[in-house]
Amino acid sequence: MQVSREKENPDLRLLYNALSEEYDLTETSYTFGAESFSFLSVLDSYALLDRISQEDFIKDEQMPYWAEIWPSSISLSSFIADELTVEGLRVVEIGAGVGMVSVVAARNGASVLATDYSLEALRFARYNSLKNRVTLDTEKLDWRQVQCREQFDLLFAADVLYERVNLLPVVTAIDKLLKPGGISYIADPRRRMAEQFLELAEENNFSITSFPKICSSGTKPIPVTIYKLRR
């Protein structure tokens, strides 16, 4: 997709040029609430598999899931724009990927920290914040060992329940990152793994409310559920 850069600021242009030298890119428009957005992502995330060395995979088993926009991110972004009031709240997103949810929250008045384990993901999140003219912070975060000392009013996460080994670390990260009285919203495309996650969350004294949604932005509707967790 050809993207016009004539009116963009120098930092945005420089970052786009750097990313385009390393990746085949695509930029897609979305509307959340009454607002228009544009998000840059990798055209073919599967092509990135060849970049992962055996040593790196053995160390972290990290796949390039960050590189594309998933239906859960779209559904959670719509939910934030249409059904939540985030203005003036301090928000963290874990597993932010290219930063869609964080950008939408920031556009709606939240003070946002977008986090991901991948530094490459955070470059895209920064680009997308500049592209959509919002301000947010970015920081590397490993939810298996949370080092962030700040606590937040709200925590967002989309499509992070894809492996069993992640479930307890995500629950623990939510517990560490939320202020007393804070709320987490986790979006998932109704994987069976989510049921085990909810059991772990209940065992750790979280109450759960479910909001079933349908993501209709792709070629076929995808069911997504947003889980509200609070102590």
| Per-residue pLDDT at 162 | 87
Asked whether residue 61 is domain-assigned, the answer is no
Q: What does the pLDDT look like over 163-199, one tens digit per residue?
A: 899 999 999 999 999 999 999 999 999 988 999 999 9
Output the CA–CA distances (angstroms, integers) from residue 140 to 22, 87, 122, in the order listed: 20, 24, 8
Per-residue DSSP letters for 92-147? Answer: EESS-TT-HHHHHHHHTT-EEEEEES-HHHHHHHHHHHHHTT---EEEE--TTS--
Q: What's the token pair of residue 88?
A: 């003036």
Q: What does the pLDDT look like over 46-95, one tens digit per residue?
A: 556 555 554 554 455 566 788 889 999 999 999 999 999 999 999 999 99
Q: What does the pLDDT look like over 134-162, one tens digit per residue?
A: 999 999 999 989 989 999 999 999 999 98
Asked whether residue 194 is domain-assigned, the answer is yes
Asked whether residue 30 is domain-assigned, the answer is no
Domain of 225, in residue numbers:
70-230
Asked whether residue 21 is domain-assigned, the answer is no
Judge whether residue 112 has pLDDT over 70: yes
Tokens 């889980």, residue located: 227
Asked whether residue 38 is domain-assigned, the answer is no
Q: What does the pLDDT look like over 15-51, one tens digit per residue?
A: 999 999 999 899 999 999 999 999 999 987 655 655 5
